A and B are shown apart, each in its own frame.
Chain A
């Protein structure tokens, strides 16, 4: 199999990530539930991972690192915990349903949302963020990169608007955490939401949020915390305030090893290789007759994604043919990005998304290029 669906999840993980999970499953107790050796091993592993992630994203303190199951959970906590009825939120048409659906829920409860429009290339005009600000605007919630086109948003520009108007700045880094450096303090990000299983190269079921020091978020869950047992309310201290229930210690051990791997290999090296593979693919297919390639391929910084359609073929049929005849795994359909497909004009056709990992080889890319050429008899 040639796996080119890394924007959904990275399939190939560093061996030390797998080893760390296996070791954790043999040794870790429940963190924060007692101080026996196994429990303490779990507590040390989880705290150690907080420290590493705080450094990785330039958080002020490890207590600002909250573990969740994925970006979706992080975004639900951030959006539902910070937005109230009557508040206005600015978001974009680039968003994934993990942002859109919590926002729609808040709309039903009386919040207002303005979506900054994207053009046919999936690009936004940054002055539209400023223009969307109203008296009751509370927050800007946006992705760092579209999971459909790979187009990135300039967080510096958007963060400057948020800062100028005293707005909360909530960022979905699902497609960029692990390959693009993100400094939450420099960018003025109040809540950074990330997943562990994509470019962070960790296990599924891991993710988290980096919360600005002092920002109080209404918790989505309450319950077991291992602390303050006799209190009727969930602890208010971070990160426990947002972490009810047993954490995924085994997965977090894997994420810990993944951060070590990225630091050792070098995020820049990983990103440059992925960009090289993406460019190689793009250069190999851009002249195929009747191919439609979506997104701003001229942009210097972009997530390693190329989404296409072949003529009027249904994207699912193309993806299925790539799978059945060539052993190439891609993602077709709507990609949980309804507004983005609307902007691109691909609601009915969908698109075939190719997304790359630094573990992919040049030969795999060339095979994918040849397959598309054969499908179109180019």
Chain B
């Protein structure tokens, strides 16, 4: 079975994260707020991230560019727990 990747958009502040969440919602790009994994948070990241599926990453990047939205980083991590989550808010 192919390894599933989770894509996390990381932020320096919650305010940046909440702002991008609004932009992505307006653009109809599915994502949900998720705790930022420690392993990719780095020194500047905050504890919240936006979790996206791979197929939506390019659209999200486009949305970021169009809105001059602030973020810290975008990272992919293999999904470690096979939770029953196919749900994005």
Contact = CB atoms under 8 A, between A and B. Distances in A.
Interface string A203-241: 000000000000000000000001111110001011110
B18 interface: yes
A34 interface: yes
Nearest to A236: B12
A235 B14 contact: no
A44 interface: yes
Contacts of A240: 12-15
Interface residues on B, range: 10 to 19
Interface in B20-79: 22, 33-35, 43-48, 70
B1 to A, nearest CB: 28
A139 interface: no
Given A32-B14, A34-B35, A235-B12, A228 B43 contact: yes
Contacts of A235: 12-13, 44
Interface residues of A, number: 24
Contact of B14 (A51, A226, A230): A226
Contacts of A62: 15, 19
A281 to B, nearest CB: 43
Contacts of B48: 32, 35, 43
Interface of B: 11-16, 18-19, 22, 33-35, 43-48, 70
25 contacts: A34-B47, A35-B35, A40-B33, A43-B48, A47-B15, A50-B15, A51-B22, A63-B13, A63-B15, A226-B14, A226-B47, A227-B13, A227-B14, A227-B45, A227-B46, A228-B43, A231-B43, A235-B13, A235-B44, A237-B13, A237-B15, A238-B15, A239-B15, A240-B13, A240-B14
Given A43-B48, A63-B13, A228-B43, 6 more contacts: A32-B13, A32-B47, A32-B48, A33-B47, A235-B44, A238-B13
